[in-house]
Amino acid sequence: SAVISQKPSRDICQRGTSLTIQCQVDSQVTMMFWYRQQPGQSLTLIATANQGSEATYESGFVIDKFPISRPNLTFSTLTVSNMSPEDSSIYLCSVAGGAGGTYNEQFFGPGTRLTVL
């Protein structure tokens, strides 16, 4: 299985500011995803992070608000820009398709708990 770490684990931010969340995997993976989980809700996919090209965003999410980078097969960042209280949520990094693994297996990081005041 893949071991995923996220930084920061939590943060409290002021509205109008931006926060960049880092996701590091202990092995090379084919696919990396960013999810949002609002209180009491299930996971909502924000985007698929593509190595060396622009991320693929889901409906309702745009690059200007959630810029994503993926410089290699083990690392990605998600930035939450110009934050408002509605952005308060848990942000989760997820990976699939690692060496020796299959796309059936999807692993999640521990999440970043963001509170916007």
Partner 1 sequence: KNQVEQSPQSLIILEGKNCTLQCNYTVSPFSNLRWYKQDTGRGPVSLTIMTFSENTKSNGRYTATLDADTKQSSLHITASQLSDSASYICVVSAAPGGSYIPTFGRGTSLIVHP
Site for partner 1 in 20-49 (CB under 8 A): 31, 41-45, 48
With contact defined as beta carbons under 8 Å apart, do 66 and 81 qualify?
yes
Interface segment toward partner 1; rule CB under 8 A; list 60-68, 70-78, 79-87, 89-97: 89-97
Between 48 and 79, whose beta carbon lies closer to partner 1?
Answer: 48
Q: Binding of partner 1 at residue 57 (CB under 8 A)?
A: no
- Tokens found for residue 21: 């969340």
Instruction: Dig out the tokens for 59 from the structure.
Output: 């409906």
| Angle, vertex CA 14, rays to CA 13 and CA 19, nearest 5 | 45
| CB closer to partner 1, 26 vs 58 | 58
- Minimum CB separation of residue 82 from partner 1 in Å reads 26
